Structure 1
């Protein structure tokens, strides 16, 4: 594993830890500053695209404020580094709790693409795109003769 690949994986894990801990300060450090007319973007599952650093961070603040519990187990993590840009793809296996006081839990899977850019401060997130995986598709494919 290259130094860049390891660094990207570390920042990626920090991104998911920030979500789990509802740590907006850490989330703010992870997202790139916008420069040269480029805008960071985020596609949350089921949402329209969110563009611009302030709007992206606002979206995470809303999610964090309305999520009493969330845990991510990342699988199938793959990193490609091309110069000062890195693409990380993974499966987010998610466990969430119901509303506060509710003892129910729900599980789901999202596939994600996270694009990072190299900055003087290190690797920073430029684009997060999450897409839900419909449950049951794998089972149906396996049962088809």
Structure 2
């Protein structure tokens, strides 16, 4: 039987693989990160600005589109917390996202997203069951605006 620490490390590793798949445009890794339908029924994915995606086929199609159209993306995860109950694990974190566009050399945009990733323990290890990401609205700096005027 695995210790609680070993389980937490395995879940953290699966979560890291999810972000690595996105950053590296690795659809094969993304496929291995997500659970199969028989392991976790009703797979769900919510990305900022996208409709709710349901089912492995729809989710993989969306990630393929995202990966094909994102030139550069990097995630710095903060406030990461892992909770485990039996065969289910929940990872919550803040995604600090940097992106760049191919047609705008030198242009880098950033944003923050809060995320909940649910994992299920399968024969292949901890695999993603649900990803829900929601953008954080940044507060405007009134003083900064006044100084710019």
Q: TM-score, normalised by structure 2?
A: 0.88
Question: 1:103 Cα shift?
Answer: 2.1
Match of 2:28 among 22, 25, 28: 25
SS of residue paired to 1:135? coil
Tell me which residue corresponds to 2:49. Answer: 46
Q: Distance in 1 between matches of 2:139 and 2:62?
A: 29
Provide structure 2 residue ranges, at least 5 long, that are not aligned to the other structure. 143-149
Q: Structure 1 residue runs of 4+, over 6 Å off?
A: none
After superposition, where does 1:116-131 map in structure 2 within 5 Å? Answer: 116-131=119-134
Q: Distance in 1 between matches of 2:94 and 2:57?
A: 26
Provide structure 1 residue ranges, at least 5 long, that are not aligned to the other structure. 141-145
Tell me which residue corresponds to 1:58. Answer: 61
Q: When the two structures are aligned, how many residues end up with a matched partner?
A: 139
Q: Distance in 2 between matches of 1:100 and 1:84?
A: 45
Q: Distance in 1 between matches of 2:40 and 2:60?
A: 18
Structure ID, larger Rg: 2
Q: TM-score, normalised by structure 1?
A: 0.90
